[in-house]
Amino acid sequence: MSNDVMIYANDLSKSFGSFRALDKINFEVSRGEIVGFLGPNGAGKSTTMRILTCFISPTGGTARVNGHDVFDEPLKVRESLGYLPQRAPLYLEMSVLEYLRFAADLRHLDADTFRKRAKSVVEVCGLAQVLGKEIRYLSHGYRQRVGLAQALIHDPPILILDEPTSDLDPNEKAEFLDYLKQIGQERTVMLSTTSPRSRRRARGPSSSRAAASWPTGRSTRSARRAGASATSSPSRSRPRPRPTAGAAPRRRRARSRTRSASLPA
Ligand SMILES: Nc1ncnc2c1ncn2[C@@H]1O[C@H](COP(=O)(O)OP(=O)(O)O)[C@@H](O)[C@H]1O
Ligand SMILES: [Mg+2]
Protein backbone atom coordinates (compact mmCIF):
# COMPACT_ATOMS: atom_id res chain seq x y z
CA MET A 1 0.00 0.00 0.00
CA SER A 2 1.53 3.32 -1.03
CA ASN A 3 2.11 6.13 1.49
CA ASP A 4 -0.35 8.20 -0.43
CA VAL A 5 -3.28 5.95 0.43
CA MET A 6 -4.93 7.68 3.38
CA ILE A 7 -8.04 5.50 3.67
CA TYR A 8 -7.99 1.86 2.71
CA ALA A 9 -10.77 -0.71 2.88
CA ASN A 10 -10.28 -4.30 1.82
CA ASP A 11 -13.19 -6.76 1.79
CA LEU A 12 -14.71 -4.76 4.61
CA SER A 13 -17.83 -6.43 5.98
CA LYS A 14 -20.24 -5.83 8.82
CA SER A 15 -23.10 -7.97 10.04
CA PHE A 16 -25.63 -6.97 12.66
CA GLY A 17 -26.75 -10.38 13.91
CA SER A 18 -27.83 -12.26 10.81
CA PHE A 19 -28.20 -9.06 8.76
CA ARG A 20 -25.28 -8.29 6.47
CA ALA A 21 -25.05 -4.51 6.21
CA LEU A 22 -21.69 -4.44 4.40
CA ASP A 23 -20.49 -7.19 2.15
CA LYS A 24 -16.80 -7.02 1.21
CA ILE A 25 -16.40 -3.45 0.08
CA ASN A 26 -13.07 -2.30 -1.33
CA PHE A 27 -11.81 1.20 -1.96
CA GLU A 28 -8.88 3.55 -1.45
CA VAL A 29 -8.75 7.28 -0.93
CA SER A 30 -5.46 8.99 -1.73
CA ARG A 31 -3.83 11.97 -0.08
CA GLY A 32 -5.41 15.27 -1.10
CA GLU A 33 -8.54 13.81 -2.65
CA ILE A 34 -12.09 14.88 -1.89
CA VAL A 35 -14.17 11.78 -2.43
CA GLY A 36 -17.95 11.43 -2.53
CA PHE A 37 -19.28 8.19 -1.04
CA LEU A 38 -22.61 7.60 -2.69
CA GLY A 39 -25.43 5.13 -2.32
CA PRO A 40 -29.11 4.81 -1.52
CA ASN A 41 -30.42 4.98 2.02
CA GLY A 42 -29.50 1.83 3.90
CA ALA A 43 -26.61 1.02 1.57
CA GLY A 44 -24.06 1.04 4.40
CA LYS A 45 -22.41 4.47 4.06
CA SER A 46 -22.74 5.41 7.74
CA THR A 47 -21.75 1.90 8.80
CA THR A 48 -18.57 2.16 6.73
CA MET A 49 -17.77 5.56 8.21
CA ARG A 50 -18.42 4.38 11.74
CA ILE A 51 -15.96 1.54 11.16
CA LEU A 52 -13.34 3.90 9.72
CA THR A 53 -13.71 6.18 12.73
CA CYS A 54 -13.53 3.26 15.21
CA PHE A 55 -17.05 3.68 16.57
CA ILE A 56 -17.89 0.11 15.63
CA SER A 57 -15.71 -2.78 14.54
CA PRO A 58 -16.01 -4.68 11.28
CA THR A 59 -16.92 -8.35 11.28
CA GLY A 60 -14.61 -9.03 8.34
CA GLY A 61 -11.91 -7.48 6.19
CA THR A 62 -9.39 -4.73 6.86
CA ALA A 63 -9.56 -0.96 7.20
CA ARG A 64 -6.64 1.42 7.57
CA VAL A 65 -6.63 5.15 8.10
CA ASN A 66 -3.43 7.09 7.61
CA GLY A 67 -1.64 3.73 7.58
CA HIS A 68 -3.11 2.64 10.94
CA ASP A 69 -5.30 -0.41 11.29
CA VAL A 70 -8.68 0.26 12.94
CA PHE A 71 -8.30 -2.87 15.06
CA ASP A 72 -4.67 -2.54 16.10
CA GLU A 73 -4.23 1.22 16.47
CA PRO A 74 -7.62 2.82 17.09
CA LEU A 75 -6.12 5.80 18.96
CA LYS A 76 -3.77 6.61 16.08
CA VAL A 77 -6.72 6.32 13.70
CA ARG A 78 -8.79 8.73 15.80
CA GLU A 79 -5.93 11.20 16.03
CA SER A 80 -5.62 11.18 12.25
CA LEU A 81 -9.16 12.13 11.49
CA GLY A 82 -11.96 14.56 12.13
CA TYR A 83 -15.45 13.08 11.98
CA LEU A 84 -18.80 14.73 11.49
CA PRO A 85 -21.50 12.09 12.03
CA GLN A 86 -24.82 12.29 10.23
CA ARG A 87 -26.39 13.76 13.37
CA ALA A 88 -23.80 16.23 14.56
CA PRO A 89 -23.05 15.66 18.24
CA LEU A 90 -23.70 19.23 19.36
CA TYR A 91 -24.46 20.35 22.90
CA LEU A 92 -27.18 22.86 22.25
CA GLU A 93 -26.86 24.71 25.54
CA MET A 94 -23.20 25.53 24.92
CA SER A 95 -22.08 28.60 23.03
CA VAL A 96 -20.04 27.97 19.90
CA LEU A 97 -16.84 28.97 21.68
CA GLU A 98 -17.61 26.77 24.69
CA TYR A 99 -18.30 23.87 22.39
CA LEU A 100 -15.04 24.32 20.49
CA ARG A 101 -13.16 24.46 23.78
CA PHE A 102 -14.93 21.28 24.86
CA ALA A 103 -13.98 19.55 21.59
CA ALA A 104 -10.38 20.72 22.03
CA ASP A 105 -10.31 19.37 25.61
CA LEU A 106 -11.44 15.98 24.34
CA ARG A 107 -8.49 16.07 21.98
CA HIS A 108 -6.13 17.12 24.79
CA LEU A 109 -5.09 20.35 23.08
CA ASP A 110 -3.18 22.70 25.36
CA ALA A 111 -4.30 26.32 25.78
CA ASP A 112 -1.83 27.70 23.26
CA THR A 113 -2.69 25.20 20.59
CA PHE A 114 -6.39 25.75 21.23
CA ARG A 115 -5.96 29.50 20.72
CA LYS A 116 -4.24 28.99 17.39
CA ARG A 117 -6.54 26.29 16.14
CA ALA A 118 -9.71 28.03 17.28
CA LYS A 119 -8.67 31.15 15.41
CA SER A 120 -8.09 29.14 12.27
CA VAL A 121 -11.29 27.04 12.36
CA VAL A 122 -13.44 30.03 13.24
CA GLU A 123 -12.11 31.80 10.19
CA VAL A 124 -12.26 28.87 7.82
CA CYS A 125 -15.78 27.86 8.92
CA GLY A 126 -17.13 31.42 9.05
CA LEU A 127 -18.12 31.37 12.73
CA ALA A 128 -16.81 34.72 13.96
CA GLN A 129 -20.29 36.28 14.11
CA VAL A 130 -21.80 33.52 16.24
CA LEU A 131 -19.02 32.62 18.67
CA GLY A 132 -21.01 33.71 21.72
CA LYS A 133 -24.34 32.31 20.60
CA GLU A 134 -25.82 29.21 22.11
CA ILE A 135 -25.89 26.47 19.51
CA ARG A 136 -29.62 25.95 20.02
CA TYR A 137 -30.27 29.32 18.37
CA LEU A 138 -28.23 28.65 15.25
CA SER A 139 -29.65 27.71 11.86
CA HIS A 140 -28.95 24.23 10.48
CA GLY A 141 -26.32 25.70 8.18
CA TYR A 142 -24.43 27.28 11.06
CA ARG A 143 -24.77 24.13 13.15
CA GLN A 144 -23.15 22.10 10.42
CA ARG A 145 -20.33 24.63 10.27
CA VAL A 146 -19.88 24.23 14.03
CA GLY A 147 -19.79 20.45 13.48
CA LEU A 148 -17.16 20.95 10.83
CA ALA A 149 -15.16 23.21 13.13
CA GLN A 150 -15.06 20.59 15.92
CA ALA A 151 -13.91 18.00 13.37
CA LEU A 152 -11.04 20.31 12.40
CA ILE A 153 -10.01 21.57 15.81
CA HIS A 154 -7.02 19.20 16.14
CA ASP A 155 -5.86 19.82 12.57
CA PRO A 156 -6.35 16.27 11.28
CA PRO A 157 -5.06 15.27 7.83
CA ILE A 158 -8.32 13.38 7.10
CA LEU A 159 -11.95 14.43 7.36
CA ILE A 160 -14.87 12.01 7.30
CA LEU A 161 -18.24 13.70 6.89
CA ASP A 162 -21.48 11.74 6.90
CA GLU A 163 -24.14 13.44 4.76
CA PRO A 164 -23.02 16.88 5.91
CA THR A 165 -25.41 18.76 3.64
CA SER A 166 -28.49 16.53 3.79
CA ASP A 167 -30.65 18.80 5.98
CA LEU A 168 -29.48 22.10 4.53
CA ASP A 169 -31.41 24.38 2.22
CA PRO A 170 -29.84 25.12 -1.19
CA ASN A 171 -28.14 28.34 0.00
CA GLU A 172 -26.76 26.74 3.13
CA LYS A 173 -25.59 23.78 1.05
CA ALA A 174 -23.71 26.01 -1.39
CA GLU A 175 -22.11 27.91 1.48
CA PHE A 176 -21.08 24.73 3.26
CA LEU A 177 -19.52 23.34 0.09
CA ASP A 178 -17.57 26.56 -0.38
CA TYR A 179 -16.09 26.20 3.09
CA LEU A 180 -15.35 22.57 2.37
CA LYS A 181 -13.55 23.40 -0.85
CA GLN A 182 -11.19 25.63 1.03
CA ILE A 183 -10.66 23.11 3.82
CA GLY A 184 -10.10 20.29 1.33
CA GLN A 185 -7.14 22.06 -0.23
CA GLU A 186 -4.92 20.70 2.51
CA ARG A 187 -6.71 17.52 3.52
CA THR A 188 -8.12 14.22 2.41
CA VAL A 189 -11.91 14.39 2.63
CA MET A 190 -14.44 11.59 2.36
CA LEU A 191 -18.06 12.63 2.43
CA SER A 192 -21.20 10.63 1.94
CA THR A 193 -24.37 11.65 0.25
CA THR A 194 -27.52 9.97 -1.00
CA SER A 195 -27.77 10.28 -4.75
CA PRO A 196 -31.13 11.74 -5.94
CA ARG A 197 -31.57 8.96 -8.46
CA SER A 198 -31.15 6.22 -5.92
CA ARG A 199 -33.41 8.04 -3.50
CA ARG A 200 -36.26 7.66 -5.95
CA ARG A 201 -35.70 4.00 -6.60
CA ALA A 202 -33.70 2.78 -3.67
CA ARG A 203 -34.27 -0.90 -4.10
CA GLY A 204 -32.50 -3.75 -5.79
CA PRO A 205 -28.87 -4.02 -6.83
CA SER A 206 -29.11 -1.68 -9.82
CA SER A 207 -29.81 1.36 -7.67
CA SER A 208 -26.75 0.61 -5.59
CA ARG A 209 -24.55 1.35 -8.56
CA ALA A 210 -25.38 5.04 -8.53
CA ALA A 211 -22.22 7.09 -8.11
CA ALA A 212 -21.31 10.63 -9.06
CA SER A 213 -18.54 13.00 -8.27
CA TRP A 214 -18.86 15.81 -5.77
CA PRO A 215 -18.75 19.21 -7.47
CA THR A 216 -15.79 20.70 -5.71
CA GLY A 217 -13.71 21.95 -8.59
CA ARG A 218 -10.58 20.05 -7.65
CA SER A 219 -9.36 16.49 -7.67
CA THR A 220 -12.52 14.59 -6.87
CA ARG A 221 -13.94 11.21 -7.52
CA SER A 222 -16.49 8.84 -6.16
CA ALA A 223 -15.83 5.86 -3.98
CA ARG A 224 -17.93 3.31 -5.77
CA ARG A 225 -19.59 0.89 -3.46
CA ALA A 226 -18.49 -2.62 -4.21
CA GLY A 227 -20.82 -5.32 -2.98
CA ALA A 228 -22.38 -3.49 -0.07
CA SER A 229 -25.91 -4.46 0.81
CA ALA A 230 -28.46 -2.69 -1.37
CA THR A 231 -31.31 -2.97 1.07
CA SER A 232 -33.33 0.17 1.32
CA SER A 233 -34.59 1.56 4.58
CA PRO A 234 -37.56 3.81 3.92
CA SER A 235 -37.61 5.09 7.46
CA ARG A 236 -34.21 6.67 6.91
CA SER A 237 -35.17 8.47 3.75
CA ARG A 238 -36.72 11.47 5.50
CA PRO A 239 -34.73 14.02 7.40
CA ARG A 240 -35.30 13.52 11.09
CA PRO A 241 -35.53 16.31 13.59
CA ARG A 242 -32.17 17.33 14.98
CA PRO A 243 -31.22 15.70 18.24
CA THR A 244 -31.60 17.80 21.32
CA ALA A 245 -28.99 17.18 23.93
CA GLY A 246 -29.73 17.52 27.59
CA ALA A 247 -32.95 18.71 29.17
CA ALA A 248 -35.97 20.01 27.29
CA PRO A 249 -35.47 23.60 26.13
CA ARG A 250 -36.33 26.14 28.79
CA ARG A 251 -37.96 29.44 28.04
CA ARG A 252 -35.25 32.05 28.01
CA ARG A 253 -35.17 35.78 27.92
CA ALA A 254 -34.05 37.14 24.59
CA ARG A 255 -30.99 38.84 26.02
CA SER A 256 -29.60 35.54 27.26
CA ARG A 257 -29.45 34.17 23.75
CA THR A 258 -26.23 35.81 22.78
CA ARG A 259 -23.30 36.18 25.04
CA SER A 260 -20.37 38.13 23.86
CA ALA A 261 -17.45 35.89 23.16
CA SER A 262 -14.15 36.39 21.56
CA LEU A 263 -11.27 34.09 21.00
CA PRO A 264 -8.65 34.11 23.72
CA ALA A 265 -5.86 36.50 22.78
N1 LIG B 1 -26.74 -0.96 14.91
C2 LIG B 1 -27.44 -1.56 13.92
N3 LIG B 1 -28.15 -2.67 14.14
C4 LIG B 1 -28.83 -3.29 13.15
N5 LIG B 1 -28.88 -2.84 11.86
C6 LIG B 1 -28.19 -1.72 11.59
C7 LIG B 1 -27.44 -1.01 12.59
N8 LIG B 1 -26.85 0.06 12.00
C9 LIG B 1 -27.22 0.03 10.71
N10 LIG B 1 -28.03 -1.04 10.47
C11 LIG B 1 -28.59 -1.42 9.16
O12 LIG B 1 -27.52 -1.51 8.25
C13 LIG B 1 -27.91 -1.02 6.98
C14 LIG B 1 -26.95 0.08 6.56
O15 LIG B 1 -27.21 1.22 7.37
P16 LIG B 1 -26.42 2.58 7.19
O17 LIG B 1 -24.97 2.32 7.20
O18 LIG B 1 -26.95 3.53 8.19
O19 LIG B 1 -26.85 3.01 5.71
P20 LIG B 1 -26.70 4.43 4.98
O21 LIG B 1 -25.87 5.31 5.84
O22 LIG B 1 -26.08 4.12 3.66
O23 LIG B 1 -28.09 4.96 4.83
C24 LIG B 1 -29.34 -0.54 7.12
O25 LIG B 1 -30.21 -1.56 6.65
C26 LIG B 1 -29.50 -0.34 8.61
O27 LIG B 1 -30.83 -0.51 9.02
MG1 LIG C 1 -26.27 7.13 6.73
Is pLDDT above 60 for 41?
A: yes
Mean pLDDT in residue range 150-154 = 96
Query: Hey, where are the domains in the chain?
Result: 31-53+75-230
**CB 36 less than 6 A from any atom of ligand 1:** no
pLDDT exceeds 70 at position 9: yes
Q: What is the arithmetic mean of pLDDT over 185-214?
A: 57
> SS3 for 150?
helix
Mutate to test the pocket of ligand 1, among 45, 232, 233, 240 (most ligand atoms within 8 A of CB): 233
Task: Give me the pLDDT at residue 183, please.
Answer: 87
Looking at the DSSP assignment, which residues form a beta bridge with residue 150?
A: none
What does the DSSP 8-state code read for residue 71? T
% of the chain beyond a pLDDT of 90 = 62
pTM of the model as a whole = 0.78
CA distance 67 to 71: 12
Alpha-carbon separation of residue 153 from 7, 70, 90, 199, 248 (angstroms): 20, 22, 14, 33, 28
Ligand 1 near 102 CB (within 6 A)? no
Residue 236 Cβ contacting ligand 1 at under 6 Å: yes
Topology classification of domain 31-53+75-230: Rossmann fold (3.40.50)
**Ligand number with the minimum distance to the CA of 12:** 1
106-134: string of b/e by CB count within 10 Å (b at 16+)?
ebebeeeebeebbeebbebbbbeebbebb
